[in-house]
Amino acid sequence: MSEQRSAPVYLNLFRISLPVGAVTSIAHRISGVLLFLSFPLLVYLLDLSLRGPDGFAAAVDWLSNDYIRLGSVIIAWSLFHHLIGGIRFLLLDLELGITRPRARATAWLVNIAAVAAALLYLWWVL
């Protein structure tokens, strides 16, 4: 009697339809990692800008680069998403908005508000 062995299955993550709450949760984790990884750079820029007028000018020159501006928009999105999503998750822990329609609505609100805030930041930076 031969035993069938199941071969590994290719899992295409782009074909999986995730609910909006799962997307918000995954984006919350990604934004937390981005904030954590950007923290040393942000502290360095703050230290550089507080060293005096020359340091401030160097920080402004460094931040005037287009790639750095794009990176700051991504950091701004991660900050906004993590903040708004964290408030949503805290409210869910308090069992506020725990019903399925309310949870979906707040998840959409978090995703849309974070992107809108990042776009406003982009408009302000440009």
Is CATH 1.20.1300.10 the right assignment for the domain spanning 20-125? yes
- Is 70 exceeded by the pLDDT of residue 2? no
Assess contact for 58 and 48: CB atoms under 8 A.
Answer: yes
Nearest to 106 by CA among 84, 76, 78: 84
Query: 59-96: string of b/e by CB count within 10 Å (b at 16+)?
Result: beeeeeeeeeeeebbebbbbbbbbbbbeebeeebeeee
Three-state DSSP class for residue 104: helix
- According to the model, what pLDDT value does residue 6 have? 80
Q: How confident is the model over 59-116, as pLDDT tens digits?
A: 999 999 999 999 999 999 999 999 999 999 999 999 999 999 999 999 999 999 999 9
pTM for the whole structure: 0.83
If pLDDT is split at 50, 70 and 90, which confidence band does 3 have? confident
**Domain ranges across the chain:** 20-125
- According to the model, what pLDDT value does residue 11 have? 78
Q: How confident is the model over 4-63, as pLDDT tens digits?
A: 778 788 878 778 888 999 999 999 999 999 999 999 999 999 999 999 999 999 999 999
